[in-house]
């Protein structure tokens, strides 16, 4: 279930595309020079992406329950958790963008 949620959540950030691009380049498909020799160069970026995915998944909001009234404290706690989740999403998007830029740079260089 977590994998399905992660796939739905991470798709807009391009993680799937990042991994597909990296896989295509490392396999040397379509006669292009792969980046298999550059795997060490992007190791830190990929590790950062994995770390940010974990952070994001750890901030998942609990499922909403049909409550007629929510106390102010509960509402405030939900807002704080939602802000933490949004911050984790922004950090994940940045980590993916950085990794994609590094892959593109290595491909060209």
Q: Could you read off the pLDDT of 57-109 as tens digits, one per residue?
A: 999 887 777 777 888 998 899 899 999 999 999 999 999 999 989 988 888 87
CB 49 within 8 A of CB 96: yes
CA 62 to chain centre: 20
Quote the pTM value. 0.67
Q: Tell me how many domains the chain contains.
A: 1
Per-residue pLDDT band at 3 (split at 50, 70, 90) = very low
| Distance between CA atoms of residues 80 and 74, nearest Å | 10
| Distance between CA atoms of residues 49 and 25, nearest Å | 18
Residues contacting 45, CB < 8 A, separation 6+: 95, 98, 99, 102
Q: Note down the domain range covering 43.
A: 2-108
């Amino acid at each position: 279930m977590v994998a399905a949620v992660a796939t739905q959540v991470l798709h807009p950030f391009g993680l799937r595309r990042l991994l597909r691009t990296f896989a295509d380049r490392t396999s040397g498909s379509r006669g292009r020079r792969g980046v298999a020799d550059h795997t060490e160069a992007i190791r830190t970026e990929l590790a950062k992406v994995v770390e940010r995915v974990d952070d994001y998944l750890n901030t998942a909001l609990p499922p909403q329950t049909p409550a007629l009234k929510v106390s102010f404290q509960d509402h405030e706690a939900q807002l704080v958790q939602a802000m933490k989740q949004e911050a984790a999403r922004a950090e994940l998007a940045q980590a993916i963008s950085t990794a994609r830029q590094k892959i593109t740079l290595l491909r060209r260089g």
